[in-house]
Structure 1
Amino acid sequence: MSTQFTRVPHPSPLPADRRAEILADPGFGRFFTDHMVTIRWSVEKGWHDATVGPYGPLSFDPASMVLHYGQEIFEGLKAYKQPDGSIACFRPEANAARFRGSAARLAMAELPDDLFLDAITELLTADREWAPPAGGEESLYLRPFMIATEVGLGVRPASEYLFVLIASPAGPYFAGGVKPVDVWLATDYTRSSLGGTGTAKCGGNYAASLLPQAQGTAHGCAQVAYLDAEERKWIEEMGSNNLFFVYGSDDQTEVVTPTLSGSILAGITRDSLLLLAKEIGCQVTERRVSGQEWLENGANGTLTEVFGCGTAAVITPIGKVKHHGGETSIGGNEPGPVTLRLRKLLTDIQRGDAPDTHSWMRTVVPA
């Protein structure tokens, strides 16, 4: 039986002309749509009070447990206006499943997949005019998150949670679009460890990345790549992206990505690209990749391309890796042909410009 949502229209939605100005140059995470979804959970009632209402501040007690013990998880996914005027999401079922996995790791209530998907439908139906026009680089970025709202200072899983879904029109995550970015190879800090929360999408993982990110920024880098916590040798992922390495060319092309080690987030874009790379004839390998391999093979030219991938950035070429000992350029600091081809294949499917042979796109709002 599906959950009934209470619908509360915004009393003063943003005027159409101002909304059009925002959609023309949205940036990333700067503007938000008129509505949001909230759903509460308690031990006594389970999931209840599902509401789509005006976007606005949340109010909670200073002793809410999220503020003290960090029970917080989130997801990120995108909705795209299709050529026929409908709005479709890219693989939202996978996000729903990963959200449940993150909740389980942080001992939080698990939101059922159908309720996760219903929340998306409710929000996009209310704010369909916020979806950028079809055919461009822009999309509507969706941010579901959940926090512990029980009041108390006892160290234990909370007995009350709040799920929220907000949406933000989004342009390119990196200002340069498909221009290669520089990456800092962190040796002082790690992202996660075996048995930790690396496989969960929780705020604490990102908070821990802010100091090394500042270190990378000081060296002119847009992102940070991390080594494993045990040996400080093996590449894991970047702060918000999985990593891919390309060897060879033409029919001898090998696409390599670090294997999911138990401390790496299982990226949905990553999973999609593994399949697309096979379909264009690449040899696809999931294995351990050392930082030294990246530096040496980048320097001698056997490593021809490196790119990061994730929901927000889609696919971003990496032109240079910097570290305390120097720097190494890859592929002449230009986006490589495999990177560009995979990016086009993926974005064409997302925008409805290519056949969706894998049923990745879920129509949420009909034309």
Structure 2
Amino acid sequence: MVRLQTLRGYLLEEVLAWLLRSSGYRLLTEKDDAARAPWKVLEKRKHGLVVRGRGAWRQADTLGEFPYVPPFSLPIRLFAEAKFTHPKVGLPTVRNGHGIVHDLNENVVTTWGNGSGPHRPRARYHYSYAIFSTSGFTQDAQEFALAHQISLIDLSLPDFKVLCDLVRVAAKSVYDATRSMPPSQQPTVYEIRNYLRRHLLNLWDEPAADAPSVTDPLDTLAAGLRRRSSLGLVLAFPAAPFVLGLVSNDLYAFLSHAREQPTHLVRVRRIHRSVGHPLWRIEPREGPPYRLTFSLPEQVEAWILDQEEGSRSRTHWMARNLLSAITMYWVDENHTHTFQLRYSPEEFLEVSGRPRSFTSDFGETPDLF
């Protein structure tokens, strides 16, 4: 039987796939690969979807593809792994993610057909890996991720509390229900995930959990997510070897502003907290207000801030360079919007020269720049 904290992570992965769908993240199934063996890349096996690498077939529980292809690149596929644990995520998890994407990205371009006929090109993709954690990451995990471009996204922000609580309650109810069943009647993790995936993403796959004591908490989770539809998670792409997970307490306010001004100037604030490492906040320089918040793992932030001498100047360097242009994609009714948030150098010079006192929503004082 699956451990409770593992079940939490599995349910959180399905929830993240639902949240990220508007960023263009479309969860893949076996049906997305119409090729026949030996040219197939995706297959469905006993425990779910697998993807073909150079050395082995890899489990791909939450593998999604984006509709936009960067210039001079390949279609992008992203593994989203979630860890809902109390200890910080360590090096083995990050190293495993790197091993998977390295094997997949080194996959051979062609596959020989049957007999001695000519070889045929196989579809290729660029695979990336993102790890979401509710409790942060160890220092060695952060250093390894930074070196190998594995994205680490911290879900310990206050804005994620309601979301994490919904997953925590649902996982505990499902876990208790399965423990009370005879072993022969206990649904597998694959069946539990399929049921939630069906209700969140309308992806129908068999088999799926059918015991009311298991499915009722999943229905409650799905309903709770839909009631809080203003809570959004958006992937953003700065000029850096990682992605940002931006969260907003009112995503509609951001979208309304961004649709009218796809490229606009923003202010960036780094907020010190009495508990936990600093948060970063993005707000529009002009127009209707919105707020986007993100957090960087401590070691990643330290590496960035070490680019210049002096604490304040290093923070400014980060905003001027890595955060000077943040690109975001939003898919709405099969149309992909591109937004770009630009940090103005004039804003940097103007505000950094006039520091002011400011109390954030968390009752703490941010750096303004």
TM-score normalised by length of structure 2:
0.25
Between Structure 1 and Structure 2, the one with more helix by share is 2
Structure of higher RCO (CA pairs closer than 8 Å, 6+ residues apart): 1
TM-score normalised by length of structure 1:
0.26
